[in-house]
């Protein structure tokens, strides 16, 4: 009675018990080496599928909204066009040359003569946070000319009407030997591109 249970079993029972143990070990091995990794892989695949499904829904929503977004971008571009067109760009490498090409017809039309254009140091504008992709500045251009006070005022009014984004930084008038003509000095500030974000 005190002997081993396994020794007291009949040979068929022993075989049956051994087969049961072998099957249990095989089932445990199958679970550990096949089912569990497959389950982990299946969970990972489900998570990837859900992520891809979410991305697909986002892409489909963006595609549906594309025509409306394109119209919105076009309307924003149209709204920005006057500001882009007002930017002073160099002509032959000189901002003063570009200002001359723009202002000279207005100055002659107002009756000014002996007109000279010169660049002054760029005035950087305050930079917002976060930094924009394109930075902007004010390009001061000094214009000196001779003419009557009324000619100078007429010229200023024409510049204001034709180029509303150009600001007058300073205006000085002084007498000459000819009482009909004064020496006029004006400094205009033009919006201009200041550089790219680094």
Question: Distance between CA atoms of 111 and 137, rounded to whole angstroms?
Answer: 31
What are 192's strand-pairing partners? 137
Chosen domain end from 41, 63, 85 = 85
Question: Distance between CA atoms of 93 and 138, rounded to whole angstroms?
Answer: 17
Tens of pLDDT, residue by residue over 87-135, are: 788 888 888 888 889 889 988 888 888 888 888 887 776 777 777 666 7
Beta strand 123-124 pairing with 167-175: unpaired
| pLDDT score at 8 | 55
| pLDDT score at 171 | 93
90 domain residue, yes or no: no
Domain that holds residue 105: 95-196
Based on the structure, what is the number of domains in the chain?
A: 2
Q: What is the three-class DSSP state of 85?
A: helix
Tens of pLDDT, residue by residue over 52-83, are: 888 888 888 888 878 888 888 888 888 888 87
Tens of pLDDT, residue by residue over 160-198, are: 999 988 999 999 999 888 878 889 999 999 888 776 555
Chosen domain end from 85, 110, 144 = 85
Global model pTM greater than 0.75: no
């Amino acid at each position: 009675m005190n002997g081993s249970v396994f020794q007291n079993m009949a040979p068929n029972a022993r075989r049956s018990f051994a087969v049961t143990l072998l099957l249990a070990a095989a089932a445990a091995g199958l679970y550990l080496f096949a089912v569990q990794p497959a389950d982990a892989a299946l969970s990972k695949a489900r998570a990837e599928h859900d992520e891809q499904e979410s991305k697909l829904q986002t892409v489909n929503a963006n595609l549906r909204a594309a025509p409306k977004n394109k119209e919105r971008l076009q309307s924003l571009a149209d709204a920005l066009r006057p500001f882009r067109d007002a930017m002073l760009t160099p002509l032959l490498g000189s901002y003063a040359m570009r200002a001359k090409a723009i202002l000279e017809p207005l100055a002659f039309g107002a009756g000014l003569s002996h007109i000279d254009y010169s660049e002054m140091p760029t005035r950087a504008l305050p930079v917002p946070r976060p930094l924009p992709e394109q930075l902007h500045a004010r390009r001061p251009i000094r214009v000196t000319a001779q003419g009557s006070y009324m000619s100078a005022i007429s010229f200023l009014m024409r510049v204001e009407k034709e180029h509303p984004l150009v600001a007058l930084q300073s205006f000085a008038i002084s007498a000459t030997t000819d009482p009909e003509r004064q020496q006029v000095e004006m400094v205009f500030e033009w919006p201009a591109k200041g550089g790219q974000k680094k």
